[in-house]
Amino acid sequence: MDSLRAFRFVTGSLHVDFLQPTRIDAPIEIRGRIQEIKGRKVVVHTAVRSGGVLTARGEAVAVQLPENFGA
């Protein structure tokens, strides 16, 4: 069975805006959208909803590690 190689990333930065408390007695939906890919850097925008209400949003910058990192 062929498999794709795993890509490894580290968090370069993380920003979260907490808009209101997130209910735990309702389904929680977390969605991310890639905003930008530039070289080894990937910027992802995220949104958290609970019961259909936006409760948090954020942006993460992930940096891909070189293939030989840790070898």
**CATH superfamily of domain region 9-64:** Hotdog Thioesterase (3.10.129.10)
Express each pLDDT in 7-66 by its tens digit: 899 999 999 999 999 988 889 999 999 999 999 999 999 999 998 999 999 999 999 998
| Whole-number Å distance between alpha carbons of 69 and 51 | 41
- The token duo for 29 is 């939906």
pTM for this entry: 0.78
Between the CA atoms of 31, 48, 11 and 6, what dihedral angle is there, to the nearest 10 degrees? -30
- The token duo for 5 is 């190689």
- The token duo for 71 is 């070898």
